[in-house]
Amino acid sequence: MNHPAEKIDELSEDLYPSRSGAQPRFIERLDPVIYSAPDSPDSPLPTEQLKHYREQGFLVLEDLFSAEEIAGYQREMADLRANPAVSRAEETITEISSGDVRSIFRVHRFSALFARLAADERLVGIARHLLGDEVYIHQSRLNYKPGFRGKEFYWHSDFETWHVEDGMPRMRALSMFITLTENHDCNGSLMLIPGSHQRYVVCSGQTPENHFKTSLKKQEYGTPGDSCLAELVDKGGIVTVTGKPGSVIIFDCNLMHGSNSNITPYPRSNLFFVYNALSNQVGKPFCNQRPRPEYVCARKGIRPLRGDLCDGA
């Protein structure tokens, strides 16, 4: 695939400024949603699904994996959570109040099974087509939201954080959630605002030093202003994504999303892979802070996902 024609200096230009003292406002999206030609004969998705993704910013795919594969992923999830070495690792984020495991970042480095899954052609082929380029893993994590005390993830656009704090130049990345538990409408399932990917929300405030140390537990900077959020919801509504284990939720990097706390007895856990275009690798953060750690944002040893290979971080 051909890389875009932008020069390096153009990729380093801040087209989506945020947290720079400006009041919350919108910037219309300057990048495509789907980078491959609409009539591409090798598309892994049918036309109606491509249309839905372009307009709504997300897709939900069922039955991509066998029951045996899903059972294996669930066992691996349980094993990682019970592993003391994983619990002590810097990549593991715990809940503020309970101390329960909230997320395990760079999970494809802890698990050979999840490394193979991240590079599975059933996922990578879709990411490669939507982004029109070879792809690599920008970030991976396993999100646990345990019953009774699993806390919320407030509304946010991933791209706003990846742009400001990581230096991701353009909206040429996407996320894939793979549900590992039943996702009900009451146990803190993912909520999306359809169509919100078409507008970038400029957030107020400045990025604190070492923001990742608190934001991975509870994000307070890089969240939309109330008026902007209300306008997005008035226009697009809110969709709560429910489904059985093994569902795959694909959404654009700029889609506004979040999830409520889980006060039910039913845990809600998802595996999360971020695919970024090889031509869209991160540079210097678009804020006055140092780059975030490698386990949050891959920078080293980047190479395309092929076979059972992942990024070289």
Distance between CA atoms of residues 307 and 106, nearest Å: 19
Distance between CA atoms of residues 31 and 199, nearest Å: 10
The tens digit of pLDDT for each residue in 248-260 reads: 999 999 999 999 9
257 strand-pairing partners: 156, 192
* CB 196 within 8 Å of CB 251: no
The tens digit of pLDDT for each residue in 279-309 reads: 999 999 998 888 999 999 999 989 999 765 5
> Which pLDDT does position 149 carry in this prediction?
79
Q: How many helices (H) and strands (E) does the chain have?
A: 10, 13
* Pick from 282, 143, 292: nearest CA to 211: 292
Instruction: Write the class of the CATH domain 28-36+53-280.
Output: mainly beta
Q: How many residues does the chain have?
A: 313
Q: What is the pTM of this model?
A: 0.90
The tens digit of pLDDT for each residue in 40-87 reads: 888 999 999 999 999 999 999 999 999 999 999 999 999 998 898 888
Least confident of 33-42, 161-170, 245-254: 33-42
Residues contacting residue 244 through CB under 8 Å, at least 6 positions apart: 62, 179, 182
* Pick from 239, 50, 55: nearest CA to 126: 50
The tens digit of pLDDT for each residue in 175-225 reads: 999 999 999 999 989 999 999 999 999 998 776 665 554 544 455 667 899
- For residue 94, pLDDT over 90 is answered with no
> Which pLDDT does position 221 carry in this prediction?
60
> Which pLDDT does position 313 carry in this prediction?
39
Least confident of 67-81, 156-170, 221-235: 221-235
94 strand-pairing partners: 101
> Which pLDDT does position 280 carry in this prediction?
97
Residues contacting residue 284 through CB under 8 Å, at least 6 positions apart: 12, 167, 291
